[in-house]
Amino acid sequence: MSMCLDLAVTGSRDGSVNIHSVKEGQYMRTLKPRDVDVNYAIDMLTLSYQGHVIYTGHTSETHSLHVYTLNGRHLASTTISHRVTGLVSSGDHILTGDENGDLTLLDLFTLQELKLLHLQLPVQTLALTRGNTHILAPLRDGKLIVVGLSGLPEYS
């Protein structure tokens, strides 16, 4: 949900993402990834500050990541190796953590992988600190990994 943009996004087990206005509670549109199986389920979704809808989902055999504009224009989709368990966006970047323990920094518009960090254990979720200076990645074993963002592409 983004209060600044007056938007809320919801995902469902049929693979669709619905966009609503928060103040009016009005339905705006439905997004559905191209060429997906009937059994496609949404795992995680987020809304960027610029208004991009970013979400991950899966079928029984594949996992994928998708980016759309608020007006429903498809920007990028990619198949990914493992189920995403953490998803955040900031500036022109997307950060994912997955059940394999990988932390991946991607370009928002192309989904090109910019950096990959292997954490060895499944990531539970992801968060960015105020000012986006560090990534907080709780792991399944209860440890918290803190990663500084210096040296990575500009992350505003």
81-125, pLDDT tens digit by residue?
A: 999 999 999 889 999 999 999 999 999 999 999 999 999 899 999
Please give the full DSSP string across 55-80, using - where no structure is assigned.
EEEE-SS-EEEEEEETTS-EEEEEEE
The count of domains in the chain is 1
In percent, the amount of the chain with pLDDT more than 90 equals: 46
User: Tell me, what's the pLDDT at 153?
Assistant: 46
Residue 72 within any structural domain of the chain: yes
Residue 126 within any structural domain of the chain: no
Residue 146 within any structural domain of the chain: no
Greatest CA separation for the chain:
44
Domain enclosing residue 67, as ranges: 7-119
Q: Whole-model pTM?
A: 0.84
CATH classification at residue 47: 2.40.128.630
pLDDT at 60 over 90: no
Residue 133 within any structural domain of the chain: no
User: Tell me, what's the pLDDT at 123?
Assistant: 95
d(Cα 11, Cα 87) in Å, to the nearest integer? Answer: 14
Work out the pLDDT band at 1, boundaries 50, 70, 90. Answer: very low
Residue 101 within any structural domain of the chain: yes
Residue 44 within any structural domain of the chain: yes
Average pLDDT of every residue of the chain? 85
Any idea which of 14-23, 74-83, 89-98 has the lowest mean pLDDT?
A: 14-23
Residue 29 within any structural domain of the chain: yes
d(Cα 8, Cα 20) in Å, to the nearest integer? Answer: 5
**Structure tokens, 50:** 């610029």
Residue 58 within any structural domain of the chain: yes
Q: Could you report the per-residue pLDDT of 125-155, keeping only the tens digit for each?
A: 999 998 888 999 999 999 999 988 775 444 4
